[in-house]
């Protein structure tokens, strides 16, 4: 059983007396027993630690001057092994510097020899009161930290839910891509699982892929819902959305750089011909390369007013055709493996081919 757990179960009226002089131990034992304490004894620092390991107590009365391990060394060891133990150091001289050293080392009080029984009781009572106050403060801090952590978690959940709601509201503007961000996130997670990315990257990838198109809030609805291919000017207008989204989210996601990278760079190309920064190959963040494959696959398999969605096989062929130019070949291969292993849900092609508004979970 760990020392801290033993400490929690220790009797509040028990103590350990440590002194290399048997007569001094006997004197202190009589005083403490008369005050209702169960007493354990040790003649050295090493013996005291062995006793504490078997019989944890809330109070230790220890002589300072002992051979091999003195009171200061014993105090330091107790602070490590059983920090809630109240230690009272006993010295043979009224040395102020020595007393200060002991108090700074964690002792809750000290006694000087010779001492009277009433003085022992007063010092012990004071030390135990300090110990009780320290434990209460520690428990309060722990409860407060737990409450703060819980509230922070709730605020984070509400914050992320608000962002997702914003992304969902955006998709209402473009009825033909309803559910797109959710599907892209699922595909991206499937690729991430095959590539075995870190937990931190995975968490931020999930958020970034859900919010990757949030910048389309700044794109004209007439362009988003145009029933036909876009002109060059309209396409350029649509392709402003990564930077728009990045600007919107940068103040909100300062601590999530991978998520922001997905939003800004999901239209970068592996050959450096993408937008907005013309990043090339490995210079494009991995989370972004993953999202680019997931995003393009969903776009190809989703129907539009002017075209039907591709089949899964056709979309995979298209991804492989552009691996090394538009897409990272490793991410394309990982996505293909995810589909083969059923780690990624295949799109319902019949639903995708419908041209009216279709809600897809």
Residues identified as active-site: 216
Q: Is the distance from CB of 131 to CB of 110 less than 8 angstroms?
A: no
Q: Give the separation between CA 9 and CA 358, rounded to whole angstroms.
A: 62
Peptide bond into 233 cis (omega under 30): no
The per-residue b/e assignment along 176-196, b for 16 or more CB within 10 angstroms, e otherwise, is bbbbbbbbbbbbbbbbbbbbe
Q: Is the distance from CB of 242 to CB of 275 less than 8 angstroms?
A: yes
Q: Give the separation between CA 18 and CA 16, rounded to whole angstroms.
A: 6
Instruction: Name the β-bridge partners of 327.
Output: 323
Q: Which pair of structure tokens corresponds to residue 65?
A: 């001057």
| E strands present in the chain | 14-18, 38-42, 59-63, 86-91, 109-112
């Amino acid at each position: 059983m760990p020392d801290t757990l033993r400490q929690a179960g220790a009797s509040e009226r028990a103590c350990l007396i440590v002194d290399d002089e048997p007569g001094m131990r006997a004197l202190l034992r009589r005083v403490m027993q008369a005050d209702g304490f169960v007493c354990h004894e040790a003649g050295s620092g090493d013996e005291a630690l062995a006793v504490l390991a078997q019989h944890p107590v809330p109070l230790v009365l220890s002589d300072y001057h002992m051979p091999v391990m003195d009171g200061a060394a014993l105090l330091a060891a107790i602070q490590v092994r059983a920090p809630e133990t109240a230690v009272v150091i006993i010295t043979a001289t009224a040395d102020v510097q020595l007393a200060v050293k002991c108090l700074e080392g964690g002792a809750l009080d000290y006694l000087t020899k010779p001492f009277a029984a009433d003085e022992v009781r007063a010092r012990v009572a004071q030390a135990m009161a300090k110990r009780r106050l320290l434990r209460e403060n520690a428990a309060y801090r722990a409860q407060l930290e737990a409450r703060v952590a819980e509230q922070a978690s709730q605020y984070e959940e509400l914050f992320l839910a608000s962002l997702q709601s914003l992304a969902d509201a955006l998709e209402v503007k473009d009825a033909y891509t309803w559910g797109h961000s959710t599907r892209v996130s699922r595909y991206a997670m499937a690729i991430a699982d095959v590539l075995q990315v870190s937990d931190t990257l995975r968490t931020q990838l999930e958020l970034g892929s859900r919010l990757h198109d949030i910048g389309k809030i700044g794109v004209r609805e007439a362009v988003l819902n145009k029933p036909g291919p876009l002109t060059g000017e309209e396409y350029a207008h649509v392709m402003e959305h990564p930077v728009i989204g990045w600007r919107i989210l940068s103040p909100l996601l300062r601590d999530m750089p991978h998520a922001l990278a997905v939003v800004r760079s999901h239209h970068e190309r592996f050959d450096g011909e993408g937008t907005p920064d013309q990043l090339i190959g490995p210079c494009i963040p991995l989370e972004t390369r993953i999202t680019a494959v997931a995003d393009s696959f969903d776009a190809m398999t989703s129907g539009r007013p002017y075209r039907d969605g591709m089949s899964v096989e056709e979309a995979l062929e298209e991804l492989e055709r552009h691996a090394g130019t538009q897409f990272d070949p490793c991410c394309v291969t990982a996505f293909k493996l995810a589909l083969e292993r059923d780690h990624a849900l295949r799109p319902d092609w019949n639903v995708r081919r419908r041209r009216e508004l279709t809600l897809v979970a």
